[in-house]
Structure formats: structure tokens, C-alpha cells
Amino acid sequence: MTRKQRRLVLIGVSLSVLGVAVALVLSALRDSIVFFNSPTDIVEKHVAPGTRIRLGGLVEDGSVRRGDNLRVSFKVTDGKTDIPVIYQGIVPDLFREGQGVVAEGIVEPGGTIKADTVLAKHDERYMPKEVVEALKKSGRWKEGNQDFAGDKK
Amino acid sequence: MIPELGHYALVLALGLALIQSVAPVVGARRNDATLMQLANSTAVVQFIFVAISFAALTACYVRSDFSVATVYENSHSMMPLIYKFTSVWGNHEGSMLLWVLILAVFGAAVAAFGVNLPATLKALVLAVQSWIASAFYLFILFTSNPFLRLANPPFEGRDLNPILQDPGLAIHPPLLYLGYVGFSIAFSFAIAALIEGRIDAAWARWVRPWTLAAWMFLTAGIAMGSYWAYYTLGWGGFWFWDPVENASLMPWLAGTALLHSAVVMEKRNALKIWTILLAILAFSLSLIGTFLVRSGVLTSVHAFATDPTRGVFILAILLLFIGGGLTLFAWRAPMLKQGGLFAPISREGALVLNNLFLTTACATVFVGTLYPLALEALTGAKISVGGPFFNLTFVPLFVPLMFAMPFGPLLAWKRGDILGVAQRLTLAFAAAVVAICVTFAAMGVKSALAPLGVGLAFFVMAGAVVDICERSGLFRVPFKAALRRGFGLPRSAFGTATAHFGLGVTLLGIVFATTWGSERIVSLKPAQTVSISGYDLTFDGLVPRDGPNFRELAAKFTVREGGVPIGIMQPSKRSFPTRSMTTTEAALMTRGPSQLYLSLGDAEGDGSIAIRLYYKPLVMLTWLGAVIMALGGALSLSDRRLRVGAPKPAAKPAMQPAE
Amino acid sequence: MTLWFVFALMTAAAIFAVLWPLGRPAAARTGSDLAVYRDQLDEIARDRSAGLIGDAEAEAARVEVSRRLIAAADAAQAAEPAPQSSPLWRRRLTAVVGLVLLPVGATAIYMLLGSPQLPGAPLAPRLKEAAHGNESITSLVSQVEARLERNPQDGRGWEVLAPVYMRLGRFDDAVKAWRKVIALSGETAVRQADLGEALVGANNGIVTADAKSAFERALKLDPQQVKSRFFVGVAAQQDGKREQAAEIWRGMLKDAPTGAPWVATVRHALASLDEPATAPSAEAASDNAAAPGPSAQDIAAAGRMTPEERGKMIRGMVARLADKLKQDGSDVDGWLRLVRAYMVLGERDKANAAAADARRALAGDADKVRRIDELAKGLGLAG
């Protein structure tokens, strides 16, 4: 093989691997990504039943109901709108009324979300970014009071 | 006094780093030996000052000095001693100090052990190393200073985030940082070579030990992180394709590619430009990894520090080093001479293929990790890219790579004989086929792909064994001769085979645990029993306990196998009053390489408790494989040849002071 | 002063790191790529003799590496001469940077960021210092404790120890001590009242059922016992029975001998009752609780706590109680205590929620639910 042919082989193989990779990425991006929505988004955008979404907001006070077989239902609110969620399984440690939550699942025909994943990430230092933004938008977010003004030199 | 000493030591380290950033460069340009060797002493003393600084901060944590703001915010006087140590880096400020400490360790190591390097190269490497160090010292001092004080120290701290109160924190971040920061040496070598405009096969050999060391630590660090996430997050998964995990996987992929392309460069003087690029990329991805975690730009389970204002500073650092590095590369790389030729089917060809797949896989991870960010910035839409995406992109790229892996080491340099190699791999093929058949027979056809995965794993493992057999001539020459030849093999050959074998072991663990694991989520009353994969677990009751800084409600389960009690599992829920947080502590029972995994949900009013129970067959192999890989790296690192050029002590008993 | 001395030493070390290499001759020998290629040649020879590679392969590799070796040797010769030592002016310039810029710059940055005036404050010596005032007491206590361990039937010993425990804020120990005293030396109104006070202290100013019964026993023995009367009033107030509390306290004022030291405290407590509907703050509650009699400061002196710290501690304990009740909701007294505690802390919403939780948890037991309802009504909570 001449030098030129070798180079062609190399370029050919590289391009085909890259091509396959690009095709994989594009098809995966079409099928396996999930959009994040706040409760208000879901109502305003009329998300079609059967769509897979991530819903973020606060667990509405007094909305958590526990049923048999580890069934849990609750409402996720952003202060303006609330969306009912049902879930079967163990909710995370930090899942509490009034705290931030992200539920991922399918939109049911009645507008309920049937979640297969519930993430609650409340720690005074950490909240899902999406939740913070959704709450900021609806005016329910207050910046944390983490500074200890005057004390800090 | 101690916190202020640490603070001042850090300032002095910055001062020395600034001098070290300039003087050796001038020295190298002007061929001035004095200025060049200045870098040796400043690098070592810089390390001493950072070490003092780190020790001072550690002392503050251990002695609960709440006059230091970060200690107050991240520690508690009642914490067990080990967590007082680990909380030093369980927060943003301290972890950055650990980062620069490791950077300084590597800098000092180059100064002390790089005796075999040409003076100008060494001076430039140390200077570039100091540019990075200066940027990070400034970052720490002005935006993330761990030594800020409180005039009226409180009597109790706010405790370390309970999720981080785990032995995992003692091991995972230091290992990971040793890996990340280790790639800074490869980066500095690359930049130094570009500045010098000269690069050759010797360069690759000089960089190799540093890259190997970094790769080894990163491999172990990632495995440790994965195991930590596995037992601490309470739902039995060991890899979540979480942005922070991806952040550590990307430099690993680039670093693995670098490791392999440097071999080609060293042996054949080829792939030089590509190797330089990989060295820049590996460290760039490490920086991005730091950035992803530190700035909290991505939603992630990990994020133990979230502060966008610091992000701007880190962004500047990223732009400076990645942008600067790539610009320098674009400008200088075309001036480098190309090296040796090789046929597509050859050891070089196989290594090119390896690089191609590794970098492409790395690129898909990069896209999957950063696409949501880009999309949000451009359109405002928020999406999450999770496991399914990576399973569809990363896995198909990794499978051919692993299939090709046993072929590489058996191919000859320059021009190889693929059929001959395939022939020599007959044994490995046979092992794979047997494994596939056995798996099908034993496990049924629940999943068609999984037995193939098992076959691939066995192919890779057997391939590594065949490699060593072939090299030693086992089964071809008399046994004794083969043994002698086996001992004569360079350690790096054993290192390669060991690391490849380890990857096969990991694959085996992943395939088994994900395909044939079982899971049960049930609610149990005391004295009730739940069964999984031949084990029966009886819920004996709840036991409240008091820990040093938490209270705990443990559930006691007796585990029986075929009616015979084999042990007790006690998963628990811990509540930490200081942060009013609860954590779930899963209980693990290791049975050979398999594990039973039990974690608690909520206790209900009627005395029953929800549990999650998993049986994870062969799951330990996932991490064991990574440990084997790291061991392979260590074996290679111990190869005498990597120290070549170092003055042999016997040859010249020079009074070379260890600078 | 020590600090600046150590700073000076460290600065000197840093300067030394810069100056030392300037004074040394340039290292004669450095590494070069020639060594690497020579080693590669050796390696090929080794591999060949071990039979790891074929003759032709070895020869080709040898030629290639030799070519590299020659090229490198040529380059080394063609390149600049071996590195020289610095010219004097450059060394002087560097020395100035090290001697002047380094210390001045470091000091400037440090003065900008550091707090040299603040001493280190490790916790252990601070706690010791904080306890210093009590040091003699502490050692005394341990002596008495040691003696009582040998002779636990010594009622007088316990009677000496109990008030000291109160002073030190060790309320749980005080409760145990008073119980011993009562068991060993007999019951008196004062002893019962002191036991009740210790119980109140142990519960952060909340008059529990235990404490109340202690005060009631004391009043049975001596209906005029001041401390017990006051605390029974506090109990009524915490139960939401404001009229009853007011009545008790007014009675005390009426009976008060002239110049009694506790009159002001009772007046204060009475005044706090008039604040409509809002529950007294935690601080006020514990001040009130602590006010009567000579032991007035004792409870307030719980350790050396600032009001915020005390509030925080109380909150912590309340949170623990709430946790416990979440695990096991059958403890009606616990629920009553929790609802009251929230009212004392001024957290009306939480009190409401706790009452609701309690009703849910005790749903099976009408009698217990009634007690919750009564309390809620008394505290003016939504029923």
C-alpha cells in the first residue's frame, strides 16, 4: 500500500466510526431525552398524554396520601398551578411536604403524572436547579440567608 | 494562630508560584541554567508551604476551631475523628485546597525525580505547572478562601452534610483528584513541547509514567466513587450517568487514549501531534470535571458546592488553559515533524483504532453531558439526558473496542498478520463460545444480548491470558524455557495484560448485576419474611440507637439460606438534628462476588416498614475489575524502563542533592 | 507576637528558596533523549536474545532507533551550547524580586485577606475556659459523686448535690438526685417543688405532667409553697388556661408578704398573659419559669447559653420529640407536650399541624383525642 492509500484507509475508518457515532447520538437524542416542566408549563403547553416528562416544584402541603402497597400520591405545585402525581415505591429521605421535588414519569389522560422516579433534593445548600428557577419565576423563591454578615472577617 | 499560619503559607505559595511561572521560562529562552534550576527549589518549597497550609486547615477541623468559617459550616465537635479529617475536603473551599496540594505534590515530584529530563524541558514543564498553580491559588484566596475567620466563634458547628459522613469521602475525592491533577503533568509536558517546538519519541517515554500514575488513580477513584454511590444512595445502582460521574469518565477515556497513543509515539515516533492533543484534552476535561462539580451548572445528585459566582472565575481559568492550550496547539503543531509509517493492520493500527473508539466514546459522553446545558442556553428548554441516551451511544462504541482489544497486543509493529493473530486467539474464542453456551443454558433466554456480553467479557479475559502465554512461548517451547522467558518479560507487558483482564472482569460484573439481579420492594411487619434468589429475610424489629451526632432507627433482619441462618442485616435511617436531615444506610451482605442489598423506606403507623431488597449477582466484580486495572497500571509503572536515563547510582556516586 | 515571628521565619524560607539556586553553580549534567534511545537499543537486543521478536523485526527496529539516536546527537551538537550560569545582572534582578517583591507582595495580600488579630480558637480549651468559673464546683461535684457512689444511701449527700446540678444546668442529674433525696430523707414541700423545677428545666421550660404532679404534691404538703404555686400557674398558662393561670398568680400577689423578692416576677408573668392570643416567646417562658425564689437564675443559667443558643437547643429537642412521635404516635402526653412546645416557641402553624397529626395518630382512642381537643381549644388553636 502506498502512503496515500494508507492515509485513505485511516480517514475512511475514522469517518465511518464518527458517522456511526453521530447517527447514534442523533437517534438517541430524539428518543431518550426528557423535558423538564413546571406545573404551570404543563397546563399552559397542553402536554399531550403519554409524554414522558420531568416535573419539578414543591410538594404541596397536606397533599401527600399514602395508600397500600407503597402507593403514594401527592401534588406538585409552583405556587400557581398544582399537578397530581402518583407513585408506587419508596420515596427518598428528603421527600417532605413543602420541599422541592422532581418527579419523572408519563402524563396520564386525566393530567395526572404517573411517576416512576421521584427525586427529592433538599438540603439547605442544594436544590434542583430547575426547581429553583421554576420557583423564582413564580415568585416563591427567596435567596438563602447564608451570610453571617458582620461576623465574617 | 494556626489558621493564620495556614493562610499565610498559602499566600507565600502563591508568591513562589508567580516567580516560578516566569523565571524558568526566561531561563529556557536565554539558555540560562541558573534561572532554570530555580524552578526546582521553588517547586519543592511551594509544596512545603501548601502542605503546611493543608495541615493547618486539618488541625482546625480536628480541634473544632469554629473561629474558622469553613470549619463552623462543615464540622461538628461530636463527629467521629475520621470525619473531622475528611470534612476538610467535604466542602468547596477545602476540596480546592486539596486540589492545589496534589498539584504541588506533582510539581515537587517532577522537580525531584525528573533528573532524566533535559534542562529546558524540565524548566518549562515546571513553569507551566506553576501557571496552573498560580491561577488556582488566586482562585482559592480570592473566591473560596478556607481560612476566613469569625470574630465571635460559635460553640458548635453546622455539621458536615450527612450524605458525606461516610468513609467513602476519605478515599474517593483524594484518589479522583490525584487522577485529575495528575493529567496536569501531561498537559504541562505538552505545552512545554509546543513552546520548545521540539517533540520526539523520548518525550513520550518521559510523559508515560506521569500519565500512568494519573490514570491509575483516576481508575481507582472512579471505581471507589461508583461503589460509594452504590451503597449510599440506597437504590442499588452503581453508575447513574450523572453529569458529575461523566465528568470523571471523560478524562479517564481521554487519558486511556493518551496512554495508548503515547506507546505508539514512544516506539515508532508516530502519532505525535495526536498525542499532544490528547494530553491537552485529558487535562482540559479534568478541568471541566472540576468546573462541573464546583459551579453547580448542572443538576446532579452530587453537587456538594453550588455557587455560580465562583463559576465565573473557573470559567476564566478554563478559557485560559483550554483555550490557550488549544490555540498554542493550532499554532505550533503544524511545525512538528511527522514520524514513522505503518500499515493499517499492525500494532499501531490497532492502537489508532483504540484511540478512535475511545475519543469518539468520550465525545458522545461530552455531548450527552453538555447538550442539556447548550440547549437551555439557546432555547430555554430544559431536558435531562440520562441512562437511555448513554446506553444507546456509549455502549455500541465500547463493544467493538473491547472486541478488538485482545488483538492489539498480539499484532506486530509496522505490519501485522490479522489471520495469524486470530488463530492464536482460538483459545480465547473457544472460552467465549463456551461462556455464551453455559450462560444460555443456565440463565435461559431472558435477554439475548447478555450472554453475548458474558462471552465478550470472557474473550477479553482469555485474550489477556493468551497474550502472556504467547509472549512467554508457553505451549510452544519447553515449559522451563517458557517460564524463564515469562520472567524475562518487561513488567509493562504484564501490566497491559492485567489491565485488559481487569476490564473484562468489570464487564462481567456489569452484565451479571444488571441482567440477572432481582429486586423486591415490599412492606413488612415484624416477624414477616421476604424471599429473594434463595435467601429468606425475616424482619425481627426496629432498634433505635444513638450515634455521636445522629440518632438512628435500625431494622434488624435475619438472613437465612435454605433455612440456615447465615447472618444479620441491619439497614437504618439516620437523622442528623443539626442539619435536620435524614440519610438511609443500606445494609450489604457479600456472598462471594455477589451481594444482598437492603435499604429502608418509611416506617408506617402499624409497625410495618417499607424495604427495598436486591440480589446483585457478581456485582463485586465490577469494582474488582477496576482495582485489577489500577494494579495493571501500577505494574507498568514499576517497569524499570520508565526510569531510563536516570543516573544509575552505581555509575556515578554524584553528590546530587535532592532538589 | 509569636505569630509575626513565625511569619518572618516562613518568609525567610520562601526567600531562601529563591536565593539559594542563584548562588549555586549550574548543574553540570542534565538528562537528554540520547539516553532514552540508547536504552531502546538495549531493549531490542534483550528482546531479540530472549526470542521475543524475530531477527528481521529486530533489525528493522534497530535501524529505526539508531536513526533517531543519530538525529538526536546531531541536534544536540547543532543546538546552542550547554546552558550557562546566569549573568550577574539577571541574578541580581531575581534576588531583588525574591528579597523585596516576594515578602512585600505576600504581606500585602495577607493583610488584605487575613485576620492576624484573631487568635485560634480550638474548642477544647474554650470549653475548659468557659467552664473555668465552675471549675472548683466541678471538682467538688466529682468528689461528692465519688463518695455517693460508695455510699448511695446518703440522703444528705444527694441533697447537697442536687442544687449544684441545677446550677450547672445538669437537669437530668438534678431530677435523679431530688428523687433520691425524697426517697431517702422523706418528702417535703420544698423537695417536691425542687424536683418539679428540675423536671421543668430538663424539659426546657415546659411544665410536663410529671413536673405538675410534683408541684401538686408539694402544694398538698404546703398550700403556700411559692415556687409550686407559680409553676402550677405556668402549667395552666401553657395548657392555654389563661384565666386559671391569672387566678393563681393573682392569689400569690395577694398573699405576698411585703418585700417578697418574687413579686416582680409574678407581676411580669401576669402581664404576659394579657398579650392577646400570642404565646409568650421561648425566652419569656423560660425566664418566667425561672423567675421565682432564690433559684431564679438557675434555669436561665442553663450552661452559659445566650438566648439564641437556648432557643436553638429547645428547637432541637422539640424536633427530636416530633421525630419520636412520628415513629410512635401512641404517646398522648408526648403529643400534648409537642403542641404546647410549639406554642411556647410561637410557632402556631406547627402547633396546629401537630394537633392534627395527634388526632390522626390517636384516632382509635376517643378519650385521648378529647384531651388533645381540650388543649387545642385552650390554646385557641383551630379545632
How many independent structural domains does chain C possess? 4
Contact list in A for residue B585 (CB cut-off 8 A) is none
Q: Are residues A8 and A83 in the same domain?
A: no
In the prediction, which pLDDT does B250 show? Answer: 94
B383–A35 CB contact, under 8 Å: yes
Q: Are residues C168 and C193 in the same domain?
A: no
Q: Phi first, then psi: give them for residue A72, nearest 5 degrees.
A: -130, 135
| Rounded Cα distance, B293 and C92, in Å | 45
C21–B8 CB contact, under 8 Å: no
In the prediction, which pLDDT does C136 show? Answer: 56
| Rounded Cα distance, C163 and C173, in Å | 10
Q: Are residues C286 and C373 in the same domain?
A: yes
C-beta atoms surrounding C32 within 10 Å: 19
In the prediction, which pLDDT does B517 show? Answer: 87
Contact list in C for residue B414 (CB cut-off 8 A) is 60
Say if C44 falls within a structural domain.
Answer: yes
Chain A and chain B share a number of CB contacts under 8 A equal to 129
Say if A151 falls within a structural domain.
Answer: no
Q: Are residues C180 and C191 in the same domain?
A: no
pLDDT at residue C274 tops 70: no
Give the chain A residue nearest B393 (alpha carbons): A24
Contact list in A for residue B610 (CB cut-off 8 A) is 70, 90
pLDDT at residue C79 tops 80: no
B364–A21 CB contact, under 8 Å: yes
Q: Are residues A15 and A46 in the same domain?
A: no
Q: Are residues C300 and C317 in the same domain?
A: yes
Say if A73 falls within a structural domain.
Answer: yes
Positive or negative, the Cα torsion across B299, B301, B302, B304?
Answer: positive
User: Which residues constitute the domain of residue A77?
Assistant: 39-144
Contact list in C for residue B200 (CB cut-off 8 A) is 33, 68, 72
User: Which residues constitute the domain of residue C166?
Assistant: 123-184
Q: Are residues C286 and C235 in the same domain?
A: no
Q: Are residues C210 and C178 in the same domain?
A: no
A25–B610 CB contact, under 8 Å: no
Q: Hey, which residues 126-145 in chain A have their CB within 8 Å of chain B?
A: 126, 128-130
A93–B573 CB contact, under 8 Å: yes
In this predicted model, which residue has the larger pLDDT, C181 or C55?
C181
Say if C94 falls within a structural domain.
Answer: no
pLDDT at residue C290 tops 70: no
Q: What angle do CA B343, B348, B351 make, to 5 degrees?
A: 135
Q: Single out the residue in C184, C199, C230 at which a domain terminates.
A: C184
Contact list in C for residue B413 (CB cut-off 8 A) is 57, 61
Render pLDDT for C223-249 as a digit per residue (tens, 0 to 9).
888 888 888 888 888 877 778 888 888
Say if A152 falls within a structural domain.
Answer: no
Contact list in A for residue B399 (CB cut-off 8 A) is none
**Hey, is the C-beta of C24 within 8 angstroms of any chain B C-beta?**
yes
Suggest the residue from B1, B2, B7, B12 to mutate for an interface test with chain C (most C CBs closer than 10 A): B12
Q: What cell was used for B562?
A: 435454605
Percent of chain A with pLDDT over 70: 76
In the prediction, which pLDDT does C254 show? Answer: 81
Q: Are residues A62 and A81 in the same domain?
A: yes
Q: Are residues C131 and C201 in the same domain?
A: no
Q: Are residues A130 and A90 in the same domain?
A: yes
Q: Are residues A64 and A45 in the same domain?
A: yes
Q: Are residues A68 and A86 in the same domain?
A: yes
Contact list in A for residue B382 (CB cut-off 8 A) is 35-37, 130
In the prediction, which pLDDT does C338 show? Answer: 83
- Exposed, middle or buried, B596 (CB in 10 Å: 0-12/13-18/19+)? buried
Q: Single out the residue in C166, C184, C202 at which a domain terminates.
A: C184
In the prediction, which pLDDT does B405 show? Answer: 92
How many independent structural domains does chain A possess? 2
Q: Are residues A4 and A45 in the same domain?
A: no
C-beta atoms surrounding C144 within 10 Å: 16
Say if C97 falls within a structural domain.
Answer: no
Pick the range with the lowest mean pLDDT from A103-117, C31-45, C252-266.
Answer: C252-266
- Confirm if C156 and C190 have CB atoms less than 8 A apart: no
In the prediction, which pLDDT does A72 show? Answer: 87
CATH number at residue A76: 2.40.50.140
Taking the CA of residue B627 and the nearest CA in chain A, the distance in Å comes to 29
Q: What is the pLDDT of chain C when averaged over all its residues?
A: 77
Residue type, B344: P
Tell me C82's DSSP state. Answer: S
Say if A54 falls within a structural domain.
Answer: yes
pLDDT at residue C19 tops 50: yes
Say if A150 falls within a structural domain.
Answer: no
pTM: 0.75
Q: Single out the residue in C16, C46, C76 at which a domain terminates.
A: C76
| Rounded Cα distance, B454 and B435, in Å | 7
Say if A110 falls within a structural domain.
Answer: yes
Taking the CA of residue A46 and the nearest CA in chain B, the distance in Å comes to 15
**Hey, is the C-beta of A8 within 8 angstroms of any chain B C-beta?**
no
Say if C69 falls within a structural domain.
Answer: yes
In this predicted model, which residue has the larger pLDDT, B629 or C213?
B629
Q: Are residues A18 and A85 in the same domain?
A: no
All residue ranges of chain B with pLDDT < 50 are: 299-305, 644-659
Suggest the residue from A9, A11, A13, A24 to mutate for an interface test with chain B (most B CBs closer than 10 A): A24
Give the chain C residue nearest B75 (alpha carbons): C123
A52-59/A33-37 β-pairing: parallel
| Rounded Cα distance, C60 and C198, in Å | 94
**Hey, is the C-beta of A123 within 8 angstroms of any chain B C-beta?**
yes
**Hey, is the C-beta of B601 within 8 angstroms of any chain A C-beta?**
yes
Q: Are residues A75 and A139 in the same domain?
A: yes
In the prediction, which pLDDT does B536 show? Answer: 92
A82-88/A113-119 β-pairing: parallel
In the prediction, which pLDDT does C291 show? Answer: 33
Q: Are residues C163 and C235 in the same domain?
A: no
Q: Are residues A134 and A94 in the same domain?
A: yes
CATH number at residue C266: 1.25.40.10
Say if C54 falls within a structural domain.
Answer: yes
The number of helices, as runs of H, and strands, as runs of E, in chain A is 3, 7
Contact list in B for residue A33 (CB cut-off 8 A) is 372, 383-385, 389
**Hey, is the C-beta of A25 within 8 angstroms of any chain B C-beta?**
yes
CATH number at residue C151: 1.25.40
B116–C83 CB contact, under 8 Å: no
In the prediction, which pLDDT does B324 show? Answer: 94
Suggest the residue from B37, B77, B124 to mutate for an interface test with chain C (most C CBs closer than 10 A): B37
Q: Hey, which residues 32-51 in chain A have their CB within 8 Å of chain B?
A: 32-37
Say if C22 falls within a structural domain.
Answer: no
In the prediction, which pLDDT does B226 show? Answer: 92
Give the chain B residue nearest C25 (alpha carbons): B34
Return the CA Rg of chain B: 27
Render pLDDT for B110-142 as a digit per residue (tens, 0 to 9).
999 888 888 889 999 999 999 999 999 999 999
Give the chain C residue nearest B198 (alpha carbons): C75
**Hey, is the C-beta of C148 within 8 angstroms of any chain B C-beta?**
no
Say if C192 falls within a structural domain.
Answer: yes
Render pLDDT for A104-145 as a digit per residue (tens, 0 to 9).
888 888 888 898 888 775 443 344 455 555 555 555 444 333
Q: Are residues A45 and A118 in the same domain?
A: yes
Say if A91 falls within a structural domain.
Answer: yes
Q: Are residues A75 and A89 in the same domain?
A: yes
A14–B368 CB contact, under 8 Å: no
C110–B11 CB contact, under 8 Å: yes
pLDDT at residue C280 tops 50: no
In the prediction, which pLDDT does B22 show? Answer: 93
Residue B304: name the closest of B469, B471, B93 by CA.
B93
Q: Are residues C159 and C193 in the same domain?
A: no
C149 Cβ partners below 8 Å, 6+ apart?
none
Residue B167 to residues A93, B164, B339: CA-CA distances in angstroms?
Answer: 20, 8, 48
Say if A149 falls within a structural domain.
Answer: no
